[in-house]
């Protein structure tokens, strides 16, 4: 089922729940990269997705939150291999309920210039690689989540818009003062993300 069909037939759309905690509860060991679960423990990962689908999730987030070149350095697998395997596990679980599968993308883990050392173009290319892999693997939408830097989110949205034709969902994390870690307000986020073409804006992992 395509994401627009979900919204056409439902007033409320439910996403799944935590992935890292579920992987730990089902055997992920300290030091193991959770992003490699689709390659190292695919049955477990698929079972987690299946449980969420059976519980009523309309959207299953693939286990790709940190599946970017920076975080996968030295693991022996390419971004494309990890993303493809992760999408496949979620897709298999979605077969029984018709849930949509989202390519889940989190922050790169490095601040962009001028706050950090990562160039905007390099961030864009990192996101674009993941997005192209996710689209090729059959994701129904792109979910850019738990962002704290509006500049990084801009790079991610542009990468999504220019490298696939999938719906783009976004969410940022805000502290108790109403701003992200890097100082972005809720209003600035909403206006900027919508202006860049995000199909949905939201808040997660916040105080």
pLDDT (tens place) for every residue of the chain, 207 residues total: 567 777 887 789 999 999 999 999 999 999 999 999 999 999 999 999 999 999 999 999 999 999 999 999 999 999 999 999 999 999 999 998 999 999 999 999 999 999 899 999 999 999 999 999 999 999 999 999 999 999 999 999 999 999 999 999 999 999 999 999 999 999 999 999 999 999 999 999 987
Answer for the pair 179, 191: CB distance below 8 angstroms, yes or no: no
How far apart (Å, rounded) are the C-alpha atoms in residues 86 and 84?
Answer: 5
Chain-centre distance of CA 109, in angstroms? 14
Two tokens, residue 135: 């689209």
83 in a domain, yes or no?
A: yes
* Domain count for the chain: 1
34 in a domain, yes or no?
A: no
In this structure, what CATH number is given to the domain that contains residue 66? 3.20.20.330
Q: Is the pTM of this model over 0.85?
A: yes
41 in a domain, yes or no?
A: no
Q: How far apart, in Å, are the Cα atoms of 176 and each of 148, 153, 180, 184, 187?
A: 13, 20, 9, 12, 15
163 in a domain, yes or no?
A: yes
Which residue segment(s) compose the domain that 174 sits in?
3-8+48-203
Helix, strand counts (H, E) of the chain: 8, 5
């Amino acid at each position: 089922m395509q994401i627009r069909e979900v919204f056409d037939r439902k007033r409320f759309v439910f996403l799944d729940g935590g992935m890292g905690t579920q992987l730990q509860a089902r055997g992920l060991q300290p030091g193991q990269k959770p992003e490699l679960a689709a390659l190292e423990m695919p049955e477990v990962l698929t079972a987690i997705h299946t449980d969420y689908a059976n519980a009523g999730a309309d959207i299953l987030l693939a286990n790709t939150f940190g599946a970017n070149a920076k975080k996968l350095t030295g693991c022996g697998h390419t971004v494309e291999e990890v993303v493809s395997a992760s999408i496949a596990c979620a897709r298999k679980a979605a077969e029984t309920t018709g849930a949509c599968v989202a390519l889940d993308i989190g922050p790169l883990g490095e601040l962009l210039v001028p706050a950090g050392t990562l160039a905007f173009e390099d961030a864009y290319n990192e996101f674009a690689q993941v997005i192209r892999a996710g689209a090729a693997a059959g994701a129904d939408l792109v979910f850019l989540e738990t962002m704290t830097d509006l500049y990084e989110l801009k790079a991610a949205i542009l990468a999504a818009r220019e490298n696939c034709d999938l719906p783009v969902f976004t969410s940022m994390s805000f502290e108790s003062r109403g701003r992200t870690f890097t100082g972005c307000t809720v209003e600035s986020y909403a206006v900027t993300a919508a202006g860049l073409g995000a199909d949905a804006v939201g808040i997660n992992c916040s105080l």
